[in-house]
């Protein structure tokens, strides 16, 4: 009975060991498989066959999703194809996967380059700073950081100049509008003044005609009174003559 139990335990141990060996062997084969595609991708990359190398690197990740080198190299291949945004995504994924300072610093440096190519200058500056924190002696990261900072400064100056230019245009338009409104007001005022002047002239003319009529009327009355007085004088004279005439 003891021997039987012992044999069962031994068999279980052998089976467990066999399973472990199979898993190790399978993992080794799996690792060899993704390394094979990475090597193939590297050869294609060196021949400037970036699209083909991307495919090979992706095959490597199909075999081993945790392959840091394959993920990083996909980013490089995409960058060479001017697919900068996709490349940046690969480098960000690689940064999360890497624990080693050197590889993580390289991924952050490449991320900075990808961001700079998509005109995300401020973000690229942060990526270069992160790369230099991990690897302060990297001269390329220092150079690119300085370049990105100068570029950001130029963009900010250009933006400020454009804002000033736009504001000047707005001010000019406002001044032109104000001047136009003022001119219209002046025209309206001149029109009103002319209308008032014409109205006053008309009134004066009407008043002038009334004065003339009155004067003519006075003159007529004066003439009529003069005529009456003349008639009275003539009548008196005739009467006097009659009275002085003697009968013969």
Instruction: Quote the tokens at residue 19.
Output: 């399973």
Per-residue pLDDT of 149-169, as tens digits, reads: 999 999 999 999 999 999 999
Residues of the domain holding 44? 2-118
Give pTM, 2 decimals: 0.60
**pLDDT value, residue 24:** 38
- Number of domains, the chain: 1
65 lies in a domain? yes
129 lies in a domain? no
The CA distance from 33 to 105, in Å, is 27
**pLDDT value, residue 7:** 54
**pLDDT value, residue 204:** 65
Task: Give the residue ranges of the chain where pLDDT is below 50.
Answer: 6, 9-10, 15, 17-29, 242-248
Q: At what angle do helices 101-117 and 68-80 cross, to 10 degrees?
A: 20
61 lies in a domain? yes
The CA distance from 127 to 111, in Å, is 7
C-alpha closest to that of 142 among 153, 132, 154, 127? 132
79 lies in a domain? yes
67 lies in a domain? yes
76 lies in a domain? yes
**pLDDT value, residue 21:** 37
127 lies in a domain? no
Q: State residue 49 phi and psi, 5-degree precision.
A: -95, 75
**pLDDT value, residue 26:** 43
3-state secondary structure the chain: CHHHHHHHHHHHHHHHHHHHHHHHHHHHHHHHHHHHHHHHHHHHHHCCCHHHHHHHHHHHHHHCCCCHHHHHHHHHHHHHCCCHHHHHHHHHHHHHHCCCHHHHHHHHHHHHHHHHHCCCHHHHHHHHHHHHHHCCCCHHHHHHHHHHHHHHHHHHHHHHHHHHHHHHHHHHHHHHHHHHHHHHHHHHHHHHHHHHHHHHHHHHHHHHHHHHHHHHHHHHHHHHHHHHHHHHHHHHHHHHHHHHCCCC
C-alpha closest to that of 126 among 107, 145, 139? 145
168 lies in a domain? no
Q: What is the CATH number of the domain that holds 49?
A: 1.25.40.10
């Amino acid at each position: 009975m003891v021997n039987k139990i012992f044999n069962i335990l031994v068999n279980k141990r052998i089976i467990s060991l066999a399973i472990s060996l199979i898993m190790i062997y399978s993992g080794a084969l799996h690792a060899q498989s993704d390394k094979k595609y990475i090597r193939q991708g590297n050869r294609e990359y060196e021949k400037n066959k970036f699209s083909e190398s991307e495919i090979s690197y992706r095959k490597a990740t199909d075999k081993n999703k945790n392959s840091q080198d394959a993920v990083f190299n996909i980013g490089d291949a995409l960058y060479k194809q001017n697919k900068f945004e996709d490349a940046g995504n690969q480098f960000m994924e690689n940064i999360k996967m890497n624990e080693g300072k050197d590889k993580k610093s390289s991924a952050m440096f490449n991320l900075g380059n990808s961001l700079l190519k998509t005109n995300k200058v401020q973000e690229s500056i942060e990526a270069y700073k992160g790369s230099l924190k991990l690897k302060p002696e990297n001269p390329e990261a220092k150079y690119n950081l300085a370049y990105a900072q100068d570029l950001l400064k130029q963009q900010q100056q250009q933006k400020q100049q454009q804002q000033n230019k736009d504001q000047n245009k707005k001010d000019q338009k406002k001044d032109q509008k104000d001047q136009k409104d003022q001119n219209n007001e002046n025209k309206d005022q001149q029109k009103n003044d002319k209308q008032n002047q014409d109205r006053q002239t008309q009134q004066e003319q009407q008043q002038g005609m009334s004065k003339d009529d009155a004067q003519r009327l006075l003159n007529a009355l004066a003439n009529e009174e003069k005529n009456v007085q003349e008639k009275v004088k003539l009548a008196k004279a005739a009467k006097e003559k009659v009275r002085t005439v003697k009968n013969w």
